[in-house]
Amino acid sequence: MQQLLTETAAVQTVLNTFLGGIILLVSIVVSINSFVLSYDIISIGAQEDRLRGTVEFRREVGQLTDTEHSTLNPTSFLSMMVGVINQRANELMTVTDELDGSDAEEIKAHIKTILQTIEYVEKSVDQTGGGEFSTLWLGLDLNLGPLMDRSRVLHLAYADELSDSGEDRFERLIRAFELITTGRHFFKTLYYRREFSMLSRTLLIVSLPAILATASTILAINANILPQIWVLGLSPLLTFVAAAFTIALAPFIILTAYMLRVATVTLRATDTEPFVL
């Protein structure tokens, strides 16, 4: 390693490459900020429509859970909605009295699957301890798409045999699925906005010192001026270059960490799309 680092021209070339990459990252930060800000820079009419939609959603969730005010942080929302789905799935059990034989058993099997899923979610929410990212991850991992689609299929299949009360119970359950799916995808959107905003801020904070440190290292190596500091028996050259590489890599490590986290969340949120690969 000592012999490799004595090739100062190669070291300078690598550091120059890092320096250009860090400057490019600053441009990426500006683009990310423009993307995030574009969501909020809209006309007053669009702002009014967005607010109206939010108020309507909160009102419907409040009516659904029989509460005047719906708390919409991920943990409380998920807990309230799984409770509603659990209640409406149990109410749907009365529909089986209107059907015979295998038809009733088919609906009972579907209700049993829903209740098992809800029981797993309730236990998992308690285990997360209210952690924001843990609850978001649990909500995205909750595979409600097939259950919602199956409920629609059964509703349509037995619509002619069900009473008005039976059809209403099916519709109420399906609506609960739709609301929890809408809510968890909105939380995913909020998570993306927060993560990209934090990424922009963190990269800006880290990039400027990294640029200064990398440029100073290149000049120091070119002038053959190295600090004579021995650390844990390592030579000054090895310590100096290792520190320079660590600082130069910091912005790229931060970008990689954020992108991996966002990409993982995205892969977890595809169950309600029209087609799934």
- What is the CA angle 232-236-241, rounded to 5? 105
Within-domain flag for 250 = yes
Q: pLDDT at position 1, please?
A: 46
Q: pLDDT at position 198, please?
A: 85
Q: pLDDT at position 101, please?
A: 78
Q: Per-residue pLDDT averaged across 192-198, rounded? A: 82
Quick one: tokens of 176?
């609960």
Whole-number Å distance between alpha carbons of 119 and 40 = 38
User: Tokens 């949120």 correspond to what residue?
Assistant: 269
Does the pLDDT of residue 197 top 60, yes or no? yes
Place 133 in a pLDDT band, splitting at 50, 70 and 90: low
Within-domain flag for 51 = no
Does the pLDDT of residue 267 top 60, yes or no? yes
> What HEC string does the chain produce?
CHHHHCCHHHHHHHHHHHHHHHHHHHHHHHHHHHHHHHCCCCCHHHHHHHHHHHHHHHHHHHHHCCCCCCCCCHHHHHHHHHHHHHHHHHHHHHHHHHCCHHHHHHHHHHHHHHHHHHHHHHHHHHHHCCCHHHHHHHHHHCCCHHHHHHHHHHHHHCCCCCCHHHHHHHHHHHHHHHHHHHHHHHHHHHHHHHHHHHHHHHHHHHHHHHHHHHHHHHHHHHCCCCCCCCECCECHHHHHHHHHHHHHHHHHHHHHHHHHHHHHHHHCCCCCCCCCC
Other CB atoms closer than 10 Å to residue 142's CB: what's the count? 22
How many distinct structural domains can be found in the chain?
1
Please give the C-alpha separations between residue 20 and each of 17, 206, 251, in angstroms, as whole numbers: 5, 15, 12
More confident residue, 234 or 154: 154
Percent of the chain with pLDDT over 70: 78
Within-domain flag for 127 = yes
User: Tokens 């399906």 correspond to what residue?
Assistant: 174
Within-domain flag for 261 = yes
**What digits encode the pLDDT tens for the residues 30-55?**
787 777 777 777 777 777 887 888 78
Within-domain flag for 212 = yes
Whole-number Å distance between alpha carbons of 211 and 20 = 9
**What digits encode the pLDDT tens for the residues 51-87?**
888 788 888 777 776 666 556 677 777 778 888 888 8
Which residue segment(s) compose the domain that 207 sits in? 2-41+72-267
Place 98 in a pLDDT band, splitting at 50, 70 and 90: confident
Within-domain flag for 6 = yes
Within-domain flag for 52 = no
Within-domain flag for 26 = yes
**What digits encode the pLDDT tens for the residues 1-31?**
455 455 567 777 787 888 888 888 888 777 8
Q: Per-residue pLDDT averaged across 175-187, rounded? A: 83
Other CB atoms closer than 10 Å to residue 152's CB: what's the count? 14
Q: Would you call 247 exposed, middle or buried from its count of C-beta atoms within 10 A (0-12, 13-18, 19+)?
A: buried
Does the pLDDT of residue 229 top 80, yes or no? no
